Structure 1
Amino acid sequence: MALRILTALDIAKTQFYHFKAIAIAGMGLFTDAYDLFCISPIMLLIGSIYYKHDHDQKVPTNTISIMLVISLLGAVIGQLIFGRLGDRKGRRRVYGLALMIMILSSIGCGLSVCTSKNCVLGSLGFFRFLLGIGIGGDYPLSATIMSEFSNRNTRGRFMAGVFSMQGFGILTSSIVTMVVCSVFKAVDNHDKHVDLAWRIILAIGAVPAGLTFYWRMMMPETARYTALVERNVTQATINMKKVLDVSLSPIPEVSEDLPPHSSNYPFFSKEFFRRHGRDLFSCSITWLLIDIIFYSSNLVQPKIYKHYLSKDSKPKFGNPYQEAFDLALLQAIMSICFTIPGYWATVYFIDRIGRVKIQIMGFFCMSLPFLALGIPYYWYWHHHTNNGFLILYGLTLFFANFGPNTTTFIVPAELFPARLRSTCHGISAAWGKVGAIIGVVGFTWASDENTASRARAPDSRTWKYQTISLVILGGVSIIGMIITYVFMRETNGRSLEENESDDNNMHVYVMRSFNYPCTGFRSNSPSSKVEGDVVENNEVA
């Protein structure tokens, strides 16, 4: 029998605190996107300072790859550690710690002690690793907290709203870069203060996170964690009433005895993998696949945009601020036209058509532009620089966000029992960042024209690697679509407890999507009956 407090959370009306929680939780993802995606123009500025004696004043590809990968590696560690701590110590207790690491490491990235090349890059790499740990820790905690505060009918919309802050973080990083570069270009005629410009851009990333630190510390522990994990229903009711105006009186009187602790089996056990192994597999693999695509195309945007940057913006022809400005401008345009609309399309549709359908559609619609770019790359795109390429590339960004990039963040926070929810989300997210590392390293290597074998015959080899890379990304999208269809369960319109009760009461099949229809399923569990009676009573009233 469901606890009344859990039923009250599932039928609670949308209130001001839900939007406040979106802002508090979303600001971590905002900072995540800002710090991760501002690194591309930063590398252009650093190249003009510490590699000014090279013929093209560019940071070597291997160095760029290290700077990109080191923060992603930190994120993997942070997701695993903070995901587990979120279940062992409580979501609230470690939530502020993750944000504090992000704030201090963002400031550290800006300071990056020393002025010699090796010292600066080593310091920057160290603080970006710490930044990655904080960013990684924010993923499972933000997703889990938002899912446990939300009602079942708008849970997807609220969680997508949290994740959509990532799009605004990308846009803000571009705007800040453009403003800083414009100011320094106007006052720094001899490019003497480029070293200060990139530090300011990085340090500003600590501001939005710092603005929400107080509110994170004031958040109560989620009622679900307090009731189901700490086994303290009284305190759970107090925590809920601190932030939500919810009355228990319309809910039918039921026994307030705690339900049996159905998930008391350890994580590393046959019972866990019998009940949740397929869900963990589907969440982890689909997240890995989408991050191969998403991060490879976002973090190496200078390689994609190089044909669209003005020759006058290149450092050897003009001012180094201009190249960073032009790249940031293109990033801002793509964010406004494709990235942010994709996030908000998910916010609007996710509770209407469900997670599975959006994820399948997103993977499929991403595969088409990638194949359209890759297959004719040599005989058309390699020789024709036009807006058609950018539009097709932009469509991949739109359907990544109106698709698996958002849903892979949401679903792991809905499928697993409360005692293991943050842990499993952290594991799924960590596999995603492993995919990001694969994508960044692979795409950067494939698009590097200075690789020895391509330097000897650039025209005959570069296009082959670009073609192969784009076609592979299209193939990865198709694989993601198939895995989603075969393995992923729909969670739309169902309580978090119903998802757990399915695994307790139903046989577990390898192909989870065929257990029951993907939409409109209602569990026969007692909790569903109680909640259904409440909804019917409210409708009659």
Structure 2
Amino acid sequence: MENIPPSPPPLKTADECITYSVDTSSTDSLPERAIFDPILLPPDSYDVNGTYWADLPFSKRVSFVLNYDLGVEGKNEWAEIWAAAKRNPFSPLIQYFKSAVLPGAGLGLEGYVLFSIGNIKPLFQAVWKECWGTHQVCNSAWVNSIEYLEVAGIMVGQILVGIQGDWVGRKWGLVQDALVMFIGLILLTASWGTSLNGWVICYAWCLFIYGIGVGGEYPMTATMSMEKSQGSSIMSSKEDRLHRGRSVTSAFLMQGWGQFFNVVVLMIVLYIANGAWNPPYSEKAVQIAFRVSFAIPAIGTAILVWHRMGLKGTNKELKSQKKKSNITGYDLESLKLTFTYFGGRMFATAGTWFANDVFFYGNKLFQSEFIKVITPNNHSVMEGWKWNLVNVSVSLVGYYLASLLIDNKLYGRKWMQIVGFMFDFLLFIIPAFSYAYFTSREHIHAFQAMYFLSSFFNQFGPNSVTFLVAAEVYPASVRASAHGFGAAVGKLGAVAAAILYSYIDTQTKFYVVPWFGLAGAIMTYVWLPDTTGLDLAEQERRWRYIRQGRGEEYCGVAIHAKHLSVWERWMGIGKQYNPTKDYKMRIEEMRAEWEEKSKEGVTEEGRQEIWTQHIDDYFRKTKEGAVALARQTDDIVPVHQEKSSLAI
């Protein structure tokens, strides 16, 4: 090999400086293995013999996951939380606010507003019956257009801002979304008309504008939350492998809190403005209730705009991947290749999101009819909101449980989505064929339980997973675009539910809707890969091979059968998986990167620094690196023995 730079400087453990005479031309050197094994075979993904966790027999896989994920990592996290809490009792709350609440604030605010539309509709119908009920003074087409224009705005935002986020950058999309939502909320709060019909038209178009900002939140929040813990092309990140799903889902579940607080605010404001819990409700009270309910999130959104303008590092991963592929502007070539190589994934992420939104929005649209079934002869809007609050609370439990288990290698994304879809299917199909039985007074509690459980499994399943995987299974340069496309197709499911529910009665809804759950489970099983435990840096590495026209040369874990869909395995992808060959290829890639930097006129000292960038920093800055190297330094014996399953 030409132009091989000198040997690297000493590597430092947590306790002392140890000098190695590393043979940079051989991958069989034990000292070199002592350096590279902890980096390329991290202990959270490989056992002591160098075997990838997904290659382990089932019993050993269970033991490995329980020992590391729940044992080592779980104990470390709790120890850090406890140590921080002892220094400052509010430290865990502050950390949660920074890692989940702030990244998910946009989704929390949009959840508050979007679902308030359904919450205040019964109030409008109770006070302005001639407009919202009989349509005597309002055009029924415009009244019905409110929901359609809202969804249309969301779809426009999802697609356009998704493309914009991959073109201009994540930060621009984040700031723009918050700004558009702020303008939309100002318009909603001040919406007016010379007649009730004029006000309805104004209200509908204000929702369309607000919806554009909401739509952009989906791809921007998903990509931002996902990429903040991603490692470099060679140096992977434990945080990314073990907690990426939790990071994204923790931000996404703020949507549930938005729904919760909207109901609480509406109940409090209406009670104060009306002076009573039950009807009749005055027009003035309703005006105060819905305008105050929009003014509150407007304040929060203004603060969000200010916060996002100060964000740093949100475009780091996108710029890094574009630089490696020599791309400026929008990566149209990667978009074309995504449809060519990941067409099955596009079908899975978009199709399952469509099926889920029929359930998710159908559940919300059906909510008022469900409440009528369990509370006959009730005419109080407050009573409906009370049951809505119960339903949202059940959903929040599902959100949090999803966040807890979505990164578990024994369950993970794919099984969570399949199980969630199947439970939704069963919980709707059972009462469909025994509707009279379950809606009778003596069995109404069983009907309630099934309805609430369907909300739980929707969050502890497809609603959380679709948001994550629609970005996760694609390369960084088109990640926001792909997520926006999947989310927009999903919103067509919401439109389908709204139209469908307008023409069929309650029992027929139970006959029709469950099959979308079954279809979602089938699509998930056949076409969706399981990226649980897969490092995004490794997925990006595979993508560079594909983009260079060398996809068949890649043989790393990104094409392990565990991380491919059934469809991809049927198509023959993954046959070249070879961990022994890949180990050596990864070392050569590290050398090539180092040599490339050396050719750029870097000084001798600079070349030494570049060599240790991926190695020395690893041991300095991570507990795993320091411990792993310390265990190997006494006799220069690697953790992964010579009889390693990699047979190096």
Task: Compute the TM-score of the two structures, normalised by the length of structure 2.
Answer: 0.67
Alignment correspondent of 2:198: 119
Decide which of 137, 141, 155 is 2:220's aligned counterpart.
141
Assess if the C-alpha contact under 8 Å between 1:26 and 1:165 holds in 2. Answer: yes
- Aligned residue-pair number: 476
Q: Look at both structures and tell me which one has the larger radius of gyration over its CA atoms.
A: 2
Q: 1:57 to 1:72 in 2, by over 3 A?
A: closer
1:97: Cα distance to partner?
0.9
1:377: Cα distance to partner?
1.2
1:392: Cα distance to partner?
0.5
Decide which of 460, 471, 486 is 1:413's aligned counterpart.
471
Alignment correspondent of 1:329: 386
1:264: Cα distance to partner?
5.6
Q: How does 1:453-492 map to 2 (within 5 A)?
A: 465-492=505-532
Q: How does 1:15-414 map to 2 (within 5 A)?
A: 20-52=98-130, 65-114=144-193, 116-150=195-229, 151-152=239-240, 153-186=242-275, 191-193=282-284, 194-220=286-312, 221-229=314-322, 231=323, 258=324, 266=333, 269=336, 271-309=337-375, 311=377, 314=379, 323-336=380-393, 338-352=394-408, 353-381=411-439, 386-414=444-472
Give the counterpart letter for 1:303 in structure 2. E
Assess if the C-alpha contact under 8 Å between 1:178 and 1:325 holds in 2. Answer: yes
Give, in whole Å, the separation in 2 of the partners of 1:311 and 1:385.
18
Assess if the C-alpha contact under 8 Å between 1:46 and 1:198 holds in 2. Answer: no
Q: 1:524 to 1:282 in 2, by over 3 A?
A: farther
Structure 2 spans left out of the alignment, 5+ residues: 1-35, 45-72, 81-93, 230-238, 553-558, 591-613, 631-648
Alignment correspondent of 1:425: 483
Assess if the C-alpha contact under 8 Å between 1:356 and 1:489 holds in 2. Answer: yes
Give the counterpart letter for 1:399 in structure 2. F
1:26: Cα distance to partner?
0.7
Give the counterpart letter for 1:191 in structure 2. S
Give the counterpart letter for 2:463 in structure 1. N
Give the counterpart letter for 1:39 in structure 2. I
Task: Compute the TM-score of the two structures, normalised by the length of structure 1.
Answer: 0.79
SS in 1 for 2:532: coil
Alignment correspondent of 1:498: 538
Assess if the C-alpha contact under 8 Å between 1:488 and 1:512 holds in 2. Answer: no
Structure 1 spans left out of the alignment, 5+ residues: 232-257, 315-322, 447-464
Give, in whole Å, the separation in 2 of the partners of 1:54 and 1:420.
43
1:64: Cα distance to partner?
5.4
Give, in whole Å, the separation in 1 of the partners of 2:581 and 2:481.
25
1:19: Cα distance to partner?
5.3
Give, in whole Å, the separation in 2 of the partners of 1:374 and 1:428.
30
**CA offsets 1:33-71 (integer angstroms, 9 cap, x no match):** 111111123112222333258988999986654222211
**CA offsets 1:132-178 (integer angstroms, 9 cap, x no match):** 11100110001001111023121100101011101101111110111
Q: 1:434 to 1:411 in 2, by over 3 A?
A: same
Give the counterpart letter for 1:110 in structure 2. T
Greater shift after overlay, 43-52 or 188-197? 188-197
SS in 1 for 2:104: helix
Give, in whole Å, the separation in 2 of the partners of 1:75 and 1:108.
17
Q: 1:60 to 1:348 in 2, by over 3 A?
A: farther
Give the counterpart letter for 2:147 in structure 1. L
Decide which of 625, 635, 647 is 1:537's aligned counterpart.
625
**CA offsets 1:347-373 (integer angstroms, 9 cap, x no match):** 110111211111111111111101112
Alignment correspondent of 2:65: none
Assess if the C-alpha contact under 8 Å between 1:40 and 1:299 holds in 2. Answer: yes
Q: 1:18 to 1:198 in 2, by over 3 A?
A: closer
Give, in whole Å, the separation in 2 of the partners of 1:45 and 1:180.
13
**CA offsets 1:377-402 (integer angstroms, 9 cap, x no match):** 14542776722222111111111110
Give, in whole Å, the separation in 1 of the partners of 2:428 and 2:139.
27
Give, in whole Å, the separation in 1 of the partners of 2:366 and 2:147.
9
Give the counterpart letter for 1:295 in structure 2. Y
Give the counterpart letter for 1:372 in structure 2. I
**CA offsets 1:271-321 (integer angstroms, 9 cap, x no match):** 332222111111111111101111011134212212344635x3xxxxxxx
**CA offsets 1:511-533 (integer angstroms, 9 cap, x no match):** 0366569xxx9994756998999
